[in-house]
Amino acid sequence: MVISHLKYNNNQWVFQDNETHQQGVADRCARFADSFGMSEWGRVLGLLHDVGKELPAFQQYIKRESGYEPNAVVNGPHQHAYVGGLIAKRLFPAQCLLLGNALMGHHRGLYDTDEMMAKLKEPIPSQITMPDLQANLTIPSPSGGFQKYDFHAVQRMLFSCLVDADYLDTEAFMQPEQTALRGSKSSLDQLLQMLENHLKSLKAASGETEVNRVRDDVQQQCRTKSDGQVGFYSLTVPTGGGKTLSSLLWALRHAVCHKQQRIIIAIPYTSIITQTAATLKGIFGEENVLEHHSEFNDESIDNDELKQTLKLASENWDYPIIVTTNVQLFESMFSNRTSKCRKLHNLAKSVIILDEVQTLPTTHLKPIVQSLDTFHRVFGCSVLFTTASQPILNGEIEGCNPLEKFDAIPHITEIVSPDSALHDKLRRVELTFDDSPHTYDEIAAEIAKHDRILCVVNTRRDAKELFDLLPDEGLTIHLSRMMYPVHVKRIIEQIKRALADPSQKVIRVVSTQLIEAGVDIDFPVVFRQEAGLDSVLQAAGRCNREGRLAGLGHAWVFSLQGSNQLPLGAIRQANDARRNLQPNQDWFAPEAMQAYFKQLYARTTNFDKPQIEQLLCNARPQFEQASHSFRLIDENTIPIIVTCDESAPLIKQLGYTGPSFGLMRHLRQYCVNVRKHDFDKLNQCGAVSRVCEDLDVFQLLPNFYKEKTGLCTDNEWLEETLII
């Protein structure tokens, strides 16, 4: 017998033979690949992936490592994955690029093609029995034929099917109790009924207001247009128009209509993810909503079985509704790693909702749009773009020179009719632009004139400078990513409670952009430091959000002078695009946003900064290089764990036991990411220390963190601390 896996159970050794394992993987892999018409490819991958386990060296290795024969001698290399690739080249030479990379990389990740081709030149080991395997391997052509950017995605999807099938079959043998936790979930039909019941209850409990009439109208248009063909859609709804539940209503009805498998909601900000996930869990139950992002803390879940089920689901997204980040979604689409690619096949025949779609970085726009096009045409996905500030993603997108242009999505169907004029019906703010330069003192003095006000700025430094100048009266709050995530959430909840308390007269908040999108707060006055029009309108959405004022709320956009002006980069570029628009227009109208994005794109020098087209869209794709290159967040930052009452026992545990997936995810709740030069400054003055030897995890000493402003890196403060 060729051993594939073995375990010691109930005082005896139990074996899984290789033929059984390969057949189990083949069945699963074929089923996964069938969702995009390539089941026969999946079957071949499953039947070939572990043929290399026949090697005597591997058999000796697994017996020794498992403890079955602890003294077994391993004669020669025990690696086995490459053998499947060699056999695929012999049996299916025309398809060996697609088959070979998935087979050879199913443990370490997809190879760059040049490296893979070099490995395929090796001979098939003489100890291997050549399988008698025949298959008709064809790739179903999508409507309109293949594009050059489709094939690397096809390769990655086949890889995903094999990796997940291999993990699941291995788990079923080694840990059957864990497999049992992957039980059945509610169907999308059942979830749709839950949502409809929830919306009926909301309507019955709410009054007849203009805002509620608009929300009802948006929901009804989502119902009416949900049976449209699989494709691209947009839902452009101003802040307060109820787009979260309306978009989900459309998505569930559309998925049920077209027999699609799941709903994937990708969001740029963790603050919105947490809020959205909490809303959906309240409607559908925790067991039907997977919240997958770095700041999700499963320690808040009391049910141990459910906690483990959610952890397992995060590995492969086998859940009806997934709420995740743009980073998690798009970096997986361009990754070569097993852990990130494992989930990808579960995107096939799904509905992808991209919330706050205007935040997609222009530097990565071309590969992102092309990947969405592939997932639509080749893998049967529908995509819904939702925002109050819809960017231009269809037709030809042109940059600052003729070479920087590409064909984006041919057609996007807007769900809400332009005749609805939602920006007029939901107009609750008067927006004023003041482009004259101001000092920090002048802006702080203007803020102090208002009792309830939110001021949003672009940088952590600007937030702290203005906060320090405000009078210490009432509730004065600083909010930035210099605070760890748990602290940020606590402060936001404090703001919400204060706003709901009529006795709290003074509430002044100075915040970075982390509060301007998706956080349900309502101020009568909002100040916003100059930025792109999309960011300005997001901040304005925190003003008179519920329409409770007798008239319009006031949003004022200001500029800072001298060295405090906007630095070069994306924010300056976006602000220049905004300033080049015609003055005194209706800033809330969709036409203004379209004009803004044309200006923004015209200032873009590169829509493909990671060079994905060069790396992947050719006959010799470089998967590993592309995986390293595609990063939506490209910051040279270092996480530092803030020492506090809640994190101290976790830091202690890390020092004793070392890192684990669950522990590190929990500790992220107490981390602040700082740039390297700030880290070096803190390190030089002894403000940070390693949690344990040989581990690049650092903690901040307690006296280097302030409750009001978080981690402080300015020189004066550090010098004072050193004197103490």
> So what's the pLDDT on residue 566?
79
Which residue in this structure is represented by tokens 């996480």?
639
Which residue in this structure is represented by tokens 């947490």?
274
Six token digits for residue 86: 């060699």
Q: How far is CA 428 from the centre of its chain?
A: 31
Six token digits for residue 233: 């859609």
CA-based nearest residue to 210, from 386, 419, 522, 421:
421
> So what's the pLDDT on residue 590?
87
> Is the same domain home to 416 and 432?
no
> So what's the pLDDT on residue 718?
37
Q: How far is CA 172 from the centre of its chain?
A: 29
**pLDDT < 50 regions, the chain:** 295-302, 305-307, 715-724
Q: How far is CA 117 from the centre of its chain?
A: 33
Amino acid, single-letter form, for residue 380: G
> So what's the pLDDT on residue 166?
95
Q: Last residue of a domain, which of 570, 587, 604?
A: 587
Six token digits for residue 274: 């947490």
Domain count, the chain: 4
Looking up residue 312, the CATH number of its domain turns out to be 3.40.50.300
Structural domain contains residue 627: no
> Is the same domain home to 239 and 139?
no
> So what's the pLDDT on residue 260?
96
Burial 547-570 (b: 16+ CB within 10 A, else e): beeeeebbbbbbbbeeebebeeeb
Q: Is the pTM of this model over 0.85?
A: yes
> Is the same domain home to 372 and 256?
yes
Cα separation, 468 vs 673, in Å, equals 22
> So what's the pLDDT on residue 451?
95
Q: Last residue of a domain, which of 146, 180, 214?
A: 180
> So what's the pLDDT on residue 297?
43
Q: What is the CB neighbour count within 10 angstroms for residue 29?
A: 32
Domain range for residue 118? 3-180
Say if residues 46 and 22 touch (Cβ distance below 8 Å): yes
> So what's the pLDDT on residue 670?
92
Cα separation, 252 vs 260, in Å, equals 9
> Is the same domain home to 400 and 300?
yes
> Is the same domain home to 253 and 369?
yes
Three-class SS of residue 554?
Answer: strand
Structural domain contains residue 623: no
Sign of CA dihedral 437, 440, 441, 442: positive
> Is the same domain home to 165 and 296?
no
